[in-house]
Amino acid sequence: MEHPIHKLLETLLNLASGGVLDRIDNRAKRARELRQWGLHPHHPESGSPLAADDTAFKAAYPLVLAGDSAVTEESLFPMMNATENLYAAASLVEERSKTRDLYASSIMQLCRSAMETSARTIWLLSDPDRDVRCDRCMSIEMEQLEQQSYFLKLEAEFEKRGRNPRPQNMIDDNVAHRANHAALLKRIKAAYSYNKPPSFTKTITQAAKWVDEHVPPHDTGELAQHGLEQGARSFYSYGSSFVHGYSWMSDYARGGVLFGMIADGLAAALNMTECAVCLYEAACRAPGGQRAADSHVPERLEPTIGNWSRELFTT
């Protein structure tokens, strides 16, 4: 149970800082509301723009062997990670009253990761041209295959000189797997041209600008008044200080400013993730479609999903 003196101190701090603790707690509450959607996401309806994207991608890039739902998977998985990270950040916020610890570094690292992955979903789905969306999906697929190649090289290296020897049958399976992966990558590179996806810094900038140009109807004034780009780019910069263990940001975190930094980090990550969820859900909805009875999307986001479903996707 929270000690009365601690509660009093929090109340005084909240008053002195213009309600910063209220902003933190309210944003943590919104973050928790996304958890069930992340665990039970909605898949594209038949006739929806996203279902058509999946079909178009498979037809355009059959050698990639990405299955029947490549665009869906590349846009959905990042947000499942984002909602889990935000839920973890919200859980740390809730611990504040019990432990008297801000967990500032952990919260900001979780928020930074959530913002990165949600921005990638917005970048992937936000272009109105299906061919562009498919090409962006292809760039992500290839980036993943290249990252996997590096991992497999490490596995091969440590199979030869690692301290924990593996059974020969496992080694044989791994050798075959690496050969198949290398052959797949070679075939794809010979058959298709593609672009490298933008860096996460550029992705966040592009995604935030897109949100500012398409202020979501569920916004209560925060995005309309302040926008997302400045807050997202600023937070991504100083959040990197915590991720990489640099101390430069501590010069700007004195005198109670740290509370505001946490609130701003939650705002940037949460707004990016909520908009990514709305954009994904809008793309999942067939023309004239309605909210599903078993939907786990917070109802406060429904106005945006409905509007974007009608306005952003022609097919």
In a domain, 184, yes or no: no
Eight-state DSSP code of residue 254: T
In a domain, 132, yes or no: yes
In a domain, 122, yes or no: yes
Q: Which two tokens stand for residue 268?
A: 């940037």
Kindly state the average pLDDT of the residues 100-125.
95
In a domain, 171, yes or no: no
pLDDT tens-digit profile of 64-91? 988 999 999 999 999 999 999 999 999 9
| Number of domains making up the chain | 1
Q: Is 203:117 a contact under the CB 8 Å cutoff?
A: no
Q: How far apart are CA 36 and CA 300, in angstroms?
A: 15
Q: How far apart are CA 237 and CA 7, in angstroms?
A: 33
- Residue 256 has what pLDDT? 74
Structural domain boundaries enclosing 32: 4-138+198-311
The set of residues, in sequence order, having a beta carbon less than 8 Å from that of 312 and lying 6+ positions away, is 126, 128, 214, 279, 282
Q: How far apart are CA 72 and CA 124, in angstroms?
A: 10
For all residues of the chain together, what is the average pLDDT? 92
pLDDT tens-digit profile of 15-47? 666 678 889 999 999 999 999 999 999 899 999
In a domain, 151, yes or no: no
In a domain, 192, yes or no: no
- Residue 163 has what pLDDT? 78
In a domain, 158, yes or no: no
The model's pTM is 0.93
In a domain, 207, yes or no: yes
Q: How far apart are CA 177 and CA 148, in angstroms?
A: 12
The set of residues, in sequence order, having a beta carbon less than 8 Å from that of 287 and lying 6+ positions away, is 47, 309
Using the predicted structure, report yes or no on whether residue 199 has a pLDDT greater than 60: yes
